[in-house]
Chains A and B, each alone.
Chain A
Amino acid sequence: MQIFRKGADTTARVLLVLGALTPLAGVGFAYAFHRASYTTGDARTPRQPVPFSHAHHVGGLGLDCRYCHTSVEKSRFAGMPPTETCMTCHSQIWTNAAMLAPVRESLARDEPLRWTRVYDLPGYVYFDHSSHVNNGVGCTTCHGRIDRMPLTRQAAPLTMAWCIDCHRDPTKALRPKNAIFDLGWTPPKDQDEQGARLAVRYHIRLRHLTDCSTCHR
């Protein structure tokens, strides 16, 4: 008497293989999900009270980053400009633009504009702008071609793997002092040698860059 159907053997084999593959696929999915821009926020462009364009102000007009982000060289925080900085020019140009109404209201009411943070690091990360900018890491290394962004976009995954990638070997990103705020900077052909030379000149203690307490404290 035949108990099993004719294809039962095949079904059992397929199920066995699937049973073995499912956990692997699960791990693969979790890995991909963890790194996906959906999770990391890479390429995220949050809505802002005013659609401020770095492409216009930096790429078009040529304003230096430090014109608005005044504390980037001396503080952990790069500095968000007070409304007064916007009005330095916009008290005279585009004075009736509807787009700038929130800026004028902010000045009139003496209330700050509430921008949405684009680079939103977790609370346990102690990032310092000044120690990067003063030691050879340029703006675009983390912020991308901000001078080409009509709306400010997160241009890096900001995962720990991404941070550590540079902390393990910063020489590939190190720039001379006069190129830190140069948005078009690309590494020269001899970046390996130049980066190594710059690491010495900036007194970067390469071995300590991956210490836990460098970023977490």
Chain B
Amino acid sequence: MRRTRLRTTPPLVGLAVATLLLAGCSGSMVDQKRYRTFEKAALWRDHSEARQLPDGTVAQSDRDRTAAIETPPPVDAALLARGQERYAIYCAPCHGLGGDGDGMIVQRGFPKPPSYHTKRLRAAPARHVFDVITNGYGVMYSYAARVPPRDRWAIVAYVRALQMSRNAQVADLPNAREKLP
């Protein structure tokens, strides 16, 4: 009797272990039990995986963000290059690459925005351009969610460069006179 039990026990244990291991195969590795970005989530009342901050929360980055809004970064070649790139992505579709307000979306029927090359907009403070990007203006939506504060300032600097490109005085460029033919 005892001998029989000894002989059958190892296979039984092996079978039990194999069964336990097989149980692990039921969950698919392809569809894992976690939410993926923007997946529908039954767990929350709004069915959104992307959670919003609870009311009254102060995010760790809030101070830096406020500082970036209040203090424009120093203008250098790198900031202008960044501004040119961001301008081409977010602004040029309507305002046009030159800032004339003749972008492709305007050519397809969107109300024409004013050109940057007017007396009024040349005189407008840099903060005005920043605020328009942040809050929108007229039929223009806010770009605050798409363009972070530092990039907004970079775009402002580039818009200033565009304006200057058509309204520069020779006197503003002391060495330019020598280079003119």
Contact = CB atoms under 8 A, between A and B. Distances in A.
Nearest to A67: B89
B145 interface: yes
Residue from B89, B104, B139 having most chain A Cβ neighbours under 10 A: B89
Interface stretch (A7-15, A31-39, A86-94, A166-174): A86-94
Given A92-B110, A124-B29, A84 B141 contact: yes
A140 B127 CA distance: 38
Contacts of B34: 123
Nearest to A178: B85
A114 interface: yes
A77 B37 contact: yes
A112 interface: yes
Contacts of B93: 61-63, 67, 89
B40 interface: yes
Interface string A44-63: 00000000000000000111
Interface string B131-144: 00000000101000
Interface range, B side: 20 to 34
A85 B146 contact: yes
Interface string B87-126: 0111001000000000011001111000000000000000
- State the main secondary structure of chain B at its contact with A: loop
A161 B97 CA distance: 42
Nearest to B111: A92
Given A63-B93, A67-B90, A124 B105 contact: no
Given A122-B30, A123-B29, A124-B32, A88 B48 contact: no
Interface residues of A, number: 24
A89 B93 CA distance: 10
Interface in A115-168: 122-124
Nearest to B50: A112
Given A80-B38, A87-B141, A123 B89 contact: no
Nearest to A85: B146
Contact of B105 (A61, A84, A112): A61
Contacts of A123: 28-32, 34, 36
A214 interface: no
B51 to A, nearest CB: 14
B48 A112 contact: yes
A43 B113 CA distance: 40
A93 B56 CA distance: 38
A91 B139 contact: yes
A114 B48 CA distance: 11
A122 B32 CA distance: 8
B108 to A, nearest CB: 6
A85 B38 CA distance: 16
B146 A70 contact: yes
A89 B30 contact: no
User: Lowest 4 A-B CB distances belong to which pairs?
Assistant: A123-B32, A64-B89, A122-B30, A88-B141
Given A114-B40, A123-B28, 8 more contacts: A67-B89, A67-B146, A76-B37, A82-B145, A89-B105, A92-B111, A123-B31, A123-B34
17 contacts: A61-B104, A62-B104, A63-B93, A76-B37, A82-B145, A84-B141, A84-B145, A87-B141, A88-B141, A89-B93, A89-B110, A91-B139, A93-B108, A93-B109, A122-B30, A123-B28, A123-B36
